[in-house]
Amino acid sequence: MHDRYEQILQFGGLTAVGSVHTPAAPAQQVLDRLIRGNCGYRNRQTNPAPITQSLRRSMAEQGQKPCAVILTCADSRVPPEHIFHAGLGELFVIRNAGNLMGYYSLGSVEYAVQHLNAPLVVVMGHTGCGAVHAAMHEQANGALGWILDSVRAHLGETRDVRLAERRNLLANLAHVGTSRTLCHLYEIGKVDFAAAMYDIHTGHVDFLYGPAEETPGLRPSE
């Protein structure tokens, strides 16, 4: 089936099945910048970028040019701009409970990559995720029930919450493979992807997967 991407999800890890991929050159540079920013956040626990009137005016007139897309959880303890020591306009942030790469999130990622030229997409989960815990232990109705069902579908039978958080993270990263647009941009080297896990206790971001590796789920079918 055209543009369907083969993926294997086992024990919280995704294994991509061999393909040729040309990494997006700026993606590794952006990843390095995010890693440095997280180090600064952990060391100083402040955001150094002042938001001045002149900066707001400049961005309003010149438009946004984010260096990265961050899809992460809506948890109030997970503020991406602070976590990566980023200023106004540096990150294109998409947030929802459980960091789900659903239809609206996927469309937002496509926009940021295709129209704003962001070279790196990071899907970031976090420790102590309430959505994952609830999916493992609770039922809900309405829209919340849909979210929990979506998370639950990624978890398998594990009762290990850390493993469940990792499985949910990597499964959502793999969902980029359902986008024809992102798959094409990935293949031509315009964008790359990373998975990250934020520790809410230490402030550390652990990049489980980055641009130097082949993105899970992004292998075009023959």
Q: Quote the pLDDT of residue 45.
A: 59
| Phi, psi values for residue 28, rounded to 5° | -65, -35
Looking at the chain, how many residues does it have? 222
Q: Which two tokens stand for residue 68?
A: 């990265």
**Structure token digits, residue 85:** 């020591």
pTM, entire model: 0.83
Amino acid found at 143:
A
Contact assessment for residue 62 and residue 37, using Cβ atoms and an 8 Å cutoff: no
Q: What is the mean pLDDT of residues 136-162?
A: 90
- With CA atoms as reference, report the closest residue to 154 among 78, 101, 219: 101
**Least confident residue range of 11-20, 105-114, 137-146, 181-190:** 11-20
- Banded pLDDT at 62 (limits 50, 70, 90): confident
Q: What is the residue whose two structure tokens read 């952006």? A: 30
Residue 195: enclosing H or E segment and its boundaries?
strand 192-198
Q: For the residues 27-44, what does the mean pLDDT come to?
A: 91
Q: Which H or E element spans position 10?
A: strand 7-10
- The helix or strand, by DSSP H or E, that contains position 14, with its residue range, turns out to be strand 13-16
CB contact set of 209 (below 8 Å; sequence gap of 6+): 170, 173, 193, 194, 195, 215, 216
Rg (CA), the chain: 17
Contacts of 50 by beta carbon, 8 Å cutoff, 6+ apart? none
Query: What is the predicted pLDDT for the residue at 51?
Result: 78
Flag whether pLDDT at 23 surpasses 80.
no
pLDDT for 130: 93
Q: Give me the chain's average pLDDT, please.
A: 83
What domains are defined for the chain? Answer: 21-44+66-209 (3.40.1050.10)
Closest CA to 78 of 197, 213, 207: 197
pLDDT in tens, 63-101: 899 999 999 999 999 999 999 999 889 999 999 999 999
Residue 84 contacts residue 35 (beta carbons within 8 Å): no
Query: For tokens 């309430």, what's the residue?
Result: 130
- Predicted local distance difference test score (pLDDT) of residue 26: 86
pLDDT over 90 percentage in the chain: 59
Four-point Cα dihedral 83, 86, 88, 89, nearest 10: -110
pLDDT of 48 above 90 = no
